[in-house]
Amino acid sequence: MRVSFKTSYNHDIRLFADGYQASRYAALVVLAVGLPFVLDDFLIGEVTGVLIWAIAGMGLMLLTGHAGQVSLGHAAFLAVGCYAHAILMDRFGLPFLASFALAGVLTGIVGVLIAIPVFRLHGIYLAIATLALSMLVEDIIVLAEPWTGGVIGLTAPTITIGGIDMDRFGSPDRFYWLCLAVVLLITLGYRNILRAPLGRAFVAIRDSEVSAQAMGVRLAWTKAAAFGLSCLITGWAGALLGHFFYTFNHEVFTVVVSIQLLLMIVIGGIGSIHGAFYGALVVGMIPQAINIGRDWITQVIGTGGVAIPGLETGVFGLILVLFILFEPQGVHGRITKWRIYFELFPFYRRDLFRRQRSYLKTERIR
């Protein structure tokens, strides 16, 4: 068991608890940067996908995991970011970086505008309002054909930064590094927010709105900020997603994607940045795992590998059901428990993480 002795308040504030932790994350970053030298183009594409979903996951994690506002409609914001970025580049001729930044900001503004009328809604009502929003945006994309290309959709413009081509298919390695850079910047910003007053205000409104107000936290303002920040990040994920898919239409941003995004962060572990990454990894690995499983079954039984429609979502759903029942804190929670088990060995007690139960009282009275 490692003990880090604290000698100044900075110890609690800085990003890493100690040098050991910092070096572990540094190693991870070095590994991530070096990945294109090891993997082929197809696998790098897959990893890029995981990174983009991790960005989207962080966007939703901020809102749902930290500020406690459940959104079942974040595909709508992915769509706003994606289309805004494509339109800004194609129609307005903005360079990639400017268009990318602006697309995120625009999505953030849309998020705040939407938060204002719905911030009074709680839990399930907020979930359903955002779900409706996702359905609406799906149809609006089709209706706004002059801008969005309707059901045919749009094609992502090519990316060049400072004369260097960074396209998804032309140079998958450089596109991967671009996504990695975005991931690192967003993660850093997210961490900074969490250790600053704003992050504490998010957690406060998640845990108790009444108490948070008594401490001077303005609910409307804080929720709008959470929505805005969350949509900013999600918009960026959407912009990258457009490049990732190359061509996209409304079907990329269905309500099912919204739901999967939420399920993804739950699998990863709600309430932690790690969770967004683990969730994206699990979601990214399911199709590969199913492929491998199918090949294996084909080998064993000897019949032709039949594609079963809906298998992916079915497996995904099943994994999630098992997580909710047996490990509600997701992959991150599980890993943390294992780590603590080894650190404390042999003093780990079964009850160390016993879940607290409470009796439900209605929010309706009558």
Partner 1 sequence: MSLLDVRDVTIRFGGVTALANVSFSVEPGEIFAIVGPNGAGKSTLFNLISRFCEPEAGEVRLDGASILDRRPADMASLGIARTFQNIDLFETSTVLQNLLIGRHTRRRASFASQAVFSPAARREEIAHREAVERVIDFLDLHASREQRIAGLPYGTRKVVEVGRALAMEPRIVLLDEPASGLSTEESRDMQFWISDIRAELGITILMVEHDMGLVSAVSDRVLVLAEGRVIALGTPAEVQSHPEVLHAFLGIDREPEA
Partner 2 sequence: MEDLQLMVGGLANGCVYGLIALGFVLIYKATEQVNFAQGDMMMLGAFIAIGLGNESHGGLPFWLACVGAVVIMAAFGMAMERTLLRPLFGQSQIAVVILTIAFGFVLRFIAGAIWGHDPLVMDHPIAGTHVTFGPVVLSADEIAVIAVTVLLTGLLYLFFSRTKLGIAMQAASQNQLAAYYMGIPVKRIHGLTWMLAGATAAAAGILFAAKGSVDPSAGLLGIKAFAAAVIGGFGSLPGALLGGLIIGLVEPFAARYVAAGYAQIAPYAVLILVLIFRPHGLFAQVSGKKL
Interface ranges with partner 2 (CB under 8 A): 70, 117-118, 120-121, 123-125, 127-129, 131-133, 135-136, 139-140, 142-143, 210, 255, 259, 262-263, 266, 308-311, 313-318, 320-321, 324-325, 328, 355, 357-366
Q: Name the minimum Å distance from CB 203 to partner 2.
A: 15
| Partner whose binding site includes residue 200, from partner 1, partner 2, none (CB under 5 to 8 Å by kind) | partner 1
Instruction: Choose the stretch contacting partner 1; rule: CB under 8 A; options: 145-153, 194-202, 282-290, 321-329.
Output: 194-202
* Spatial CA neighbour of 68 closest among 129, 103, 17, 119: 119
Q: Which amino acid is at 176?
A: Y
Integer-rounded Cα Rg, in Å, for the chain is 22
Q: Which amino acid is at 303?
A: T
| Partner whose binding site includes residue 143, from partner 1, partner 2, none (CB under 5 to 8 Å by kind) | partner 2
Q: What is the DSSP letter of 366?
A: -
| Partner whose binding site includes residue 271, from partner 2, partner 1, none (CB under 5 to 8 Å by kind) | partner 1
Q: Check residue 325 for interaction with partner 1 (CB under 8 A).
A: no
- CA triple 175-178-181, angle to 5 deg: 150
Phi-psi region of 271 (alpha: psi -120 to 50; beta: other; left: phi over 0): left
| Partner whose binding site includes residue 207, from partner 2, partner 1, none (CB under 5 to 8 Å by kind) | partner 1
Q: Name the minimum Å distance from CB 39 to partner 1.
A: 32
Of the pair 191, 294, the CB lying nearest partner 1 is at 191
| Both structure tokens of 198 | 């704003």
d(CA 256, CA 264): 12
Q: How many CB atoms lie within 10 A of CB 108?
A: 25
Q: Check residue 12 for interaction with partner 1 (CB under 8 A).
A: yes
d(CA 133, CA 113): 13
Of the pair 160, 192, the CB lying nearest partner 1 is at 192
| Partner whose binding site includes residue 12, from partner 2, partner 1, none (CB under 5 to 8 Å by kind) | partner 1
Distances in Å between the alpha carbon of 213 and those of 62, 193, 208, 221?
20, 20, 9, 11
* Spatial CA neighbour of 90 closest among 239, 253, 251: 239
- Return the residue of 299, 303, 356, 362 that touches partner 1, per CB under 8 A: 356
- Return the residue of 142, 167, 200, 290 that touches partner 1, per CB under 8 A: 200
Q: Name the minimum Å distance from CB 220 to partner 2.
A: 13
Q: How many CB atoms lie within 10 A of CB 64?
A: 25
- Return the residue of 1, 3, 38, 210 that touches partner 1, per CB under 8 A: 210
Q: Which amino acid is at 198?
A: L
Q: Check residue 184 for interaction with partner 1 (CB under 8 A).
A: no
Q: Check residue 212 for interaction with partner 1 (CB under 8 A).
A: yes
Asked if residue 296 lies in contact with residue 239, where contact means CB atoms within 8 angstroms, the answer is no
Residues at the site binding partner 1, with contacts judged by CB under 8 A: 9-10, 12-13, 189, 192-193, 195-198, 200-201, 203-204, 206-208, 210-219, 225, 271, 356
